[in-house]
Amino acid sequence: MAKRERVVRMSVEQPLWRALTGYRVLTMVYAVLLFAFGRERYERPWVALLYLAFLCVWTLATLPKVANAASCTKRFLLADLTVALVGILLTPLADAQAQSVDHSTLPTIWTAGSVLAYAIKGGWRWAGVASSLVAVANLVERGHPSRDTLHNVLLVWVASIAIGYVVEVARASERTLARALEIEAATRERERLARDIHDGVLQVLAMVQRRGTALGGEAADLGRMAGEQEVALRTLVAGGLNRPSLVSEDESEGAVVRVVDEDEEHDDGPVDLRLLLAPRAGAKVTLSEPGAPVLLAPPAARELAAAVGAALDNVRVHAGSGARAWILVEDWPDEVIVTVRDDGPGIPEGRLAQAEGEGRMGVALSIRGRLRDLGGTAELISVPGQGTEVELKVPRGKAGQGR
């Protein structure tokens, strides 16, 4: 990823750095020619000559510094801008009429190259700071604001900030493209693995199920387990292919959507609850979920998924091996509701209170306690002979306050 992103960034920035290199050389030559053809107007030409000689040496010696973003360090940017500012402030010393007549400064338009380096390196904010310093230096050099001075200052300020902003937008676009290419490659790899699994493991499990059912006896039990594993593996493969791996980062809104596994500890972005519940589905557990991601804060999503797991554990332990369960996920604007229902014998009236009195706190702690910590509720409805239903509600306003 890092290598790909670096290559993509070079495709955007490298032409800008090459253009800046050429600009610095051409404007250096322009400043020298301007002095040569207007030398007679300088009261102290030796000041201008010394500065321009230093400017030529500096420009040619620092060409590698403006070859790319890595070599263009903050220290160099500061020194380069200092050279430009010193040249502006030395202009009245070399040309006494510069403050009364609109003569160009010693570095002339070479100064814009220093500001553009800030724009390409650090974006529009850096460009704004550098161009503001140049504006102050020009006003000090002129002694009083004039129309031409304000025009030149405003031109450099607007142009540098605009270029810096364009560079930032281009970098963000290239990062998004690089991320999309990575996701596409990962998706293709998952699809290839899914095909391999389908052609191998899933077909073997399906064959074992058919043969075991036909043979009967212990082979039938083996076939039944193979069938359950086939369904679970198909669900896992489908969940992997449909997993939204793209991380959406919108700096302007601060929204980040990140997918994590159940045991991950990343708490810096919403988690799709569907992905945490997908492994719960199987031959005897049906999962019904919305088509769009059900986003919750990571602590809330993990606690809610754990509560669902506790409810399913109760189904397996108390409803019998033949009981089926259904998980229904509802995503509402103000809350998330997950309902776990089974077709077991149900819970006799008073049985939960009796279990809590005997110290068996599975429902009280594993389910109700988790939802209470999230600011939600857990409601259990059971009718003897008609199964049990557990409704888990998590308000969105409190979902981010889980442990």
For 80-94, how does the pLDDT look when each residue is reduced to its tens digit (9 = 90+)?
Answer: 999 999 988 888 888
Task: Check if the beta carbon of residue 258 is closer than 8 Å to that of residue 247.
Answer: yes
Q: Which pLDDT score is estimated for 258?
A: 37
Contacts of 111 (CB under 8 A, 6+ apart): 84, 87, 88, 105, 134, 156
Q: Which pLDDT score is estimated for 101?
A: 63
Q: Does the pLDDT at position 365 exceed 90?
A: no
Q: Does the pLDDT at position 138 exceed 90?
A: no
Task: Check if the beta carbon of residue 115 is closer than 8 Å to that of residue 130.
Answer: yes
Q: Does the pLDDT at position 265 exceed 70?
A: no
The structure's pTM equals: 0.46
Q: Does the pLDDT at position 135 exceed 90?
A: no
Separation in Å, CA 257 to CA 1, 203, 272, 293, 400: 19, 36, 8, 10, 14
12-21, 192-201, 210-219, 355-364, range with greatest mean pLDDT? 12-21
Start-to-end Cα distance in the chain: 33
For 304-354, the pLDDT digits (tens) are 998 998 888 888 877 777 788 999 999 998 999 999 999 888 877 766 656
